[in-house]
Structure 1
Amino acid sequence: MNTNLKVLVHGTGFAGQGHVDAFRAAGAEVVGIVGRTEQVVQAIAAQKSIPYAGTDWSQALDACSPNVVSIATPGGAHHESIKRAIAQGCHIFCDKPMTTDGVSAVELRNLADRKGVKTAYAASFRYTPSVRHAKRLVAEGAIGSPTEVECISHFNLERGIPFGWSHRAEDGGGRLNNNFTHILSIVTDVIGEEIVRVTGEVRNDLGRAPIVEGVHNFASRREHIPEDLSDPSLRWGESNVEWSYTVMAQIKSAWSQKPVSVLFKHGSLVPRFHDDHIVFYGTEGAIYLKGHYGSGELSHYTSESGWTALKLPDDLARTFPDVAGETEFCWHVLAREFVRDIQGEAVPPYLTFREGAQYQQIIDMIRAGGTSIEIPELVRGERG
């Protein structure tokens, strides 16, 4: 690997630290990290042995002169940071959501295209081993012609999770931005990338959340849930985003003459009775992936044998990094492909700002409500 590839990371929480590890594993040099709070960013830089730490993004771009920037902040902080990095000619690795709305996402996509920089959009749970296995099986004809997909998840999240970016549309919050993006990416990876039609509805069934000081890392936010939510001294913030959604889509597939029907059903505040799952149905069988992102056991159905659990093929298993943690694993795979592409190696297609902008526009359409929406050319764009 080319050790001269220099990466600057924006964000010091769970995602920022995960991006640092992923790019280092891909052979790149992490030269700096930027965060909001001086004390926090200095501590993370020392912990991760990162030479530069700061709170000013523009100063960091000038001081570090990176080839790549990794955007690991909440979605509301993406737009200006990415614009500045593009202007400096940096390649961009951006976690989902790309921005807070379709207009700003399209602007960034167009800026990156004109500048000629490479982009990676990390709606990255498509890289779990079970999803990769399902993609291979569908391509091999294991279910015949795909007909429909069912994606069901119920998280039963605690209503007392402290108020933060995930509760605010202007900060990139909402379940469409932070759950649907991953599942849509999984389905399109297995079935086909061309989304033809979308309809859906959302529901904000949370209302409010307690305001708690000292919450820095999204992954540990549950540790800060107040013991007594009826305490009259608590302050509350109003949520303005969806916590549940139902979306139906049609997606073109190379293995089907008709568009494949897809149901996305997510309730983040309600309990599950059966397992969360993703199921790909076809004319000759089905593939069941256990778990809300389909990262659990894979089972294959045929009329002759019924449901059979399948082991991950050895040749596929050998292509994956040895990384603990589902989220971290997927960052490692995408960062590896992105670095290889920048260095001129041939790599499989990965999600870029083209898809990131498309997803943000689709989310805007779903949130706006109404009847079935045919995805226009503006949304589909052109793959680079």
Structure 2
Amino acid sequence: MNHGLKVLISGTGFAGQGHADAFRAAGCDVVGIVGRTPSVVAEVAAKMAIPYSGTDWQAALTDCQPDIVSIATPGGAHYEPIKQAIAFGCHVFCDKPMTHSAETAQELYRLAQQKGIKTAYAASFRYAPSVLHAKELVASGAIGEPTEVECISHFNLEREIPFGWSHRAEQGGGRLNNNFTHTLSIVASVVGEKILRINGEVRDDMGRAPIVEGVHNFATRRNFIPKDLTDPALKWGDSNVEWSYTVMAQMESPFAENPVSVLFKHGGLVPRFREDHIVFYGTKGAIYLRGHYGSGQLSLYGADKQWVDLPLPQHITDAIADVSGETEQCWHYLAREFVRDISGEGVAPYPTFAEGSQYQQIIEIIRSADNWTDLSDLKA
């Protein structure tokens, strides 16, 4: 499979390298990679046999003449590279969050529409095999009309992880940007894409984190946790984003007469006692997915009133890339669909900047919500 499409990557870390592998597997030619640090981008380019490397994105667009750009940096660094790529006429594949704000996400969506380019938004765990299976089961009526969804996860992240983009809203950090985007996309893919109502609360229970030099790859940031947190010479950075959230939503479903109620509950810094999970409840049964993104075993509760573990259908197994890592598998799936669409092949709808823009608006609504009812004067 060789589509003859040239891809330029923005970002040298886990996501940048993962995107490069995904586009190569989809039959594209990865012609260049751009990063912030000359030595790092040169090292990654050499390791991955990418012919062009640099730190100037605009120059790279001119030098590489890509058909597609892949944005794999933190969300706060997305706006300018995407805007420049759209002006250049490139199709854009962008990891979540789309940008750091609803305003900039909406602007980029409009610019892409005006330019007539294709976009992909990689809230991509909707392509986990068990999620794909759940989608087929719900559509087939296996649980009757969907009524309720429950998404529960506890990450128990170390509070000592070095200060960086994940601690700052203006840099695309926060658990809504980097967890909720995936679970919302998963639920939308299974029960229906139209989000009717939203309500929620967030909590920053991080406060601050140690500032450590030399962290270039998000996946290896734990290796830089200081050994002595009481060192008076240690500097600290303040967090300004949520590390826990509770969100309630109502979503329209083509499989149900009434809106589906959804609970998204995530604790970034708290330990789990039972397993993380996603459950789809219906009028005739339920589907239980193990794991915070539902990528584990699928169990069906049906007419016999028993939970039964179901095997993956062979056609879903065949559609999943033979690569290690759930994140990488999902990138491969979406990149393949995106490339096929650009090449004129018929594909099922996939997340685009339309969803990316909507999700960014929803995140800002949740962060600014103040829907508590004061009961301090409630009489007995």
Q: Judge same fold: TM > 0.5, yes or no.
A: yes
Q: Which string of whole-angstrom CA distances, capped at 9 and with x for unpartnered residues, describes residues 3-29 of structure 1?
A: 420000000000000000000000000
Counterpart residue identity of residue 244, structure 2? S
Residue 132 (structure 2) pairs with residue 132 (structure 1): yes
User: Secondary structure of 1:318's match?
Assistant: helix
User: Secondary structure of 1:205's match?
Assistant: coil
Aligned pairs for 1:254-273 within 5 A: 254-273=254-273
Counterpart residue identity of residue 4, structure 2? N
Counterpart Cα distance in 1 of 2:302 and 2:61:
55
- Do the aligned residues in 2 keep the contact of 1:163 with 1:236 (CA within 8 Å)? yes
Counterpart Cα distance in 2 of 1:256 and 1:4:
43
Counterpart residue identity of residue 281, structure 1? Y
User: Secondary structure of 2:355's match?
Assistant: helix
- Do the aligned residues in 2 keep the contact of 1:276 with 1:292 (CA within 8 Å)? yes
Counterpart Cα distance in 1 of 2:93 and 2:365:
25
Aligned pairs for 1:216-231 within 5 A: 216-231=216-231
- Do the aligned residues in 1 keep the contact of 2:4 with 2:27 (CA within 8 Å)? no
Higher alpha-carbon deviation: 73-82 or 313-322: 313-322
Counterpart Cα distance in 2 of 1:320 and 1:156:
29
- What residue number does 2:5 align with? 5
Aligned pairs for 1:185-334 within 5 A: 185-334=185-334
- What residue number does 1:81 align with? 81
User: Secondary structure of 2:78's match?
Assistant: helix
Counterpart Cα distance in 2 of 1:215 and 1:343:
38
- What residue number does 1:376 align with? none
Unmatched segments (≥5 aa) in structure 1: 373-384
- Do the aligned residues in 1 keep the contact of 2:3 with 2:343 (CA within 8 Å)? no
- Do the aligned residues in 1 keep the contact of 2:197 with 2:250 (CA within 8 Å)? yes
Counterpart Cα distance in 2 of 1:32 and 1:367:
37
Counterpart Cα distance in 1 of 2:314 and 2:341:
25
User: Secondary structure of 2:209's match?
Assistant: strand
Counterpart Cα distance in 2 of 1:115 and 1:261:
37
- Do the aligned residues in 2 keep the contact of 1:2 with 1:343 (CA within 8 Å)? no
Counterpart residue identity of residue 177, structure 2? N
Deviation at 1:303, TM superposition (A): 4.7
Counterpart residue identity of residue 318, structure 2? R
Counterpart Cα distance in 2 of 1:125 and 1:344:
24
Q: Which string of whole-angstrom CA distances, capped at 9 and with x for unpartnered residues, describes residues 94-146 of structure 1?
A: 00000001110000000000000000000000001000000000011111000
- What residue number does 2:376 align with? none
Counterpart Cα distance in 2 of 1:174 and 1:19:
22
User: Secondary structure of 1:120's match?
Assistant: strand
Aligned pairs for 1:82-231 within 5 A: 82-231=82-231
Deviation at 1:233, TM superposition (A): 1.8
Higher alpha-carbon deviation: 299-308 or 330-339: 299-308
Deviation at 1:369, TM superposition (A): 1.2
Higher alpha-carbon deviation: 52-61 or 302-311: 302-311
Q: Under a length normalisation based on structure 2, what TM-score does the superposition of the two structures give?
A: 0.97
How many percent of aligned residue pairs carry the same amino acid? Answer: 70
How many residue pairs get aligned? The number is 372
Deviation at 1:323, TM superposition (A): 1.2
Counterpart Cα distance in 2 of 1:303 and 1:91:
47
- What residue number does 1:370 align with? 370
Q: Under a length normalisation based on structure 1, what TM-score does the superposition of the two structures give?
A: 0.96
Q: Which string of whole-angstrom CA distances, capped at 9 and with x for unpartnered residues, describes residues 287-308 of structure 1?
A: 0000000001110012524111
- What residue number does 1:59 align with? 59
Unmatched segments (≥5 aa) in structure 2: 373-380
Counterpart Cα distance in 2 of 1:282 and 1:303:
12
Counterpart residue identity of residue 188, structure 1? A
- What residue number does 2:22 align with? 22
Counterpart Cα distance in 2 of 1:158 and 1:333:
31
Counterpart Cα distance in 2 of 1:48 and 1:89:
26
User: Secondary structure of 1:7's match?
Assistant: strand
Deviation at 1:211, TM superposition (A): 0.5
- What residue number does 1:352 align with? 352
Counterpart residue identity of residue 6, structure 1? K
User: Secondary structure of 2:18's match?
Assistant: helix
Counterpart Cα distance in 2 of 1:319 and 1:204:
39
Higher alpha-carbon deviation: 221-230 or 289-298: 221-230
Counterpart Cα distance in 2 of 1:96 and 1:266:
17
Aligned pairs for 1:25-36 within 5 A: 25-36=25-36
Counterpart Cα distance in 2 of 1:149 and 1:4:
42
Counterpart Cα distance in 2 of 1:371 and 1:344:
46
Counterpart Cα distance in 1 of 2:22 and 2:137:
28
- What residue number does 1:337 align with? 337
Counterpart residue identity of residue 11, structure 1? G
Counterpart Cα distance in 1 of 2:134 and 2:368:
33
